[in-house]
Copies of this chain bind each other. A is one copy, B any other.
Amino acid sequence: MKIEKLLSKDPLWISKALTTVERDPIAGKELIDSLPEREYHVIGVTGSPGAGKSTLVDRLATELSSDHSVAIIAIDPSSPFTGGAILGDRIRMRHALENDKIFVRSMASRGKVGGLSPAIYDAVKLLGKCGFEKIIVETVGAGQSETDIVNLADIVLLILAPGIGDEIQMLKAGIMEIGDIYVVNKMDVDGAASLVNKIKAMLAFSDRKKEVILTNAVSGKNVDKLCALVEKELSKLIETGLIHKKRAHRELFHKLNSICEIIQERFLEDEKLDTLLEFIKNFDRGEEA
């Protein structure tokens, strides 16, 4: 019964299942295991705060939804102290929220040791197994989760906009390197063409052949082209078989993040950490012997 509701993508049941995934990882994993395998693709979206990410995700999801069922996970950075997420940007996703072919959910990134919360990996898997074909994961671009999106997503869209000028900071933080598609949003604002040139110069410098596209998320201009580009990049991954590698990579980092989270939750005592350290060191020695 519950499984049927999930497989029919009943939003209420999906919501409940995601809450389980967030609050009770063990029950969440059992639920995920009870669902059949499906094909799905994960599109990561990250970039400058203020570049118009949410608006663009809204548009992109709407465009994709004409051929696919789409889910959006909007990651809000959570405070390491209160544990809660400050929501809010979701108002920019009005098209998606009104479209019943698109499921939208905010999640907290959590994690004191960093990395994306394992709950986010679980949520992606749940949504994929429920039948959402394209899952867009948007990080808010204010902290820890930018570069981790690479481990979760099949392709990453890096969204920039003229006039923000934080490319150097992003370059420093390694964020400029993670795009599979570079999107210069607010294309009608002064400096858009020059930003495109900067990105192209950077890509040439690091010898990476990636697409750069101009969009206007507010008017929707070029969003169809961006959508086609996303489909093209995904097709390439499928044709070359690289998609399997991406999936294995995702599974690996899912496990790694789960382990680090368990350690940080249950081992944060001197003695326990010592025991664990001993195990790790001996394990490695055993391997080499």
Chain A interface (Cβ < 8 Å from any Cβ of B): 49, 76-82, 86, 111-115, 140-144, 146-148, 150, 166, 169-175, 177-178, 251-252, 255-260, 262-264, 266-270, 272-277, 279-281, 283-284
Please, how many angstroms separate the alpha-carbon atoms of A269 and B251 in the complex? Answer: 10
List residues of chain B with CB within 8 A of the CB of A264: 256, 260
A267 to chain B, nearest CB (A): 8
Please, how many angstroms separate the alpha-carbon atoms of A263 and B115 in the complex? Answer: 14
List residues of chain B with CB within 8 A of the CB of A263: 256, 259-260, 263, 280
With A78-B174, A169-B49 in contact, do A276 and B259 touch (Cβ < 8 Å)? yes
With A256-B263, A273-B252, A273-B255 in contact, do A174 and B115 touch (Cβ < 8 Å)? no
Q: Which residue of B lies closest to A83 (CB)?
A: B174
Contact of A256 among B113, B166, B251 (CB under 8 A): B113
Q: Determine which residue in A257, A259, A262, A284 has the highest number of CB atoms from chain B within 10 A of its CB, and name it.
A: A259
Could you name 22 residue pairs across A and B whose Cβ atoms are closer than 8 Å? Answer: A49-B169, A77-B174, A79-B173, A80-B150, A81-B174, A81-B178, A82-B177, A86-B171, A114-B115, A114-B144, A140-B172, A141-B169, A142-B173, A143-B144, A143-B146, A143-B173, A256-B263, A256-B273, A259-B263, A259-B267, A260-B263, A263-B263
Please, how many angstroms separate the alpha-carbon atoms of A280 and B257 in the complex? Answer: 13
A114 to chain B, nearest CB (A): 1
Are the CB atoms of A268 and B252 closer together than 8 Å? yes
Q: With A144-B144, A258-B277, A259-B280 given, can you name 15 additional A-B contacts, CB distance below 8 Å? A: A79-B174, A80-B147, A80-B150, A82-B174, A140-B172, A142-B172, A143-B143, A143-B173, A144-B147, A144-B173, A252-B268, A256-B263, A262-B280, A267-B280, A276-B283
A107 to chain B, nearest CB (A): 14
List residues of chain B with CB within 8 A of the CB of A173: 77, 79, 142-144
Top 9 closest A-B pairs, CB basis? A114-B114, A79-B174, A143-B173, A142-B169, A142-B173, A255-B273, A77-B173, A80-B147, A113-B115
List residues of chain B with CB within 8 A of the CB of A172: 76-77, 86, 140, 142-143
Please, how many angstroms separate the alpha-carbon atoms of A280 and B269 in the complex? Answer: 14
Q: Which residue of B lies closest to A175 (CB)?
A: B143
List residues of chain B with CB within 8 A of the CB of A281: 262
Please, how many angstroms separate the alpha-carbon atoms of A84 and B190 in the complex? Answer: 33
Please, how many angstroms separate the alpha-carbon atoms of A103 and B68 in the complex? Answer: 58
Are the CB atoms of B49 and A174 closer together than 8 Å? no
Please, how many angstroms separate the alpha-carbon atoms of A173 and B170 in the complex? Answer: 16
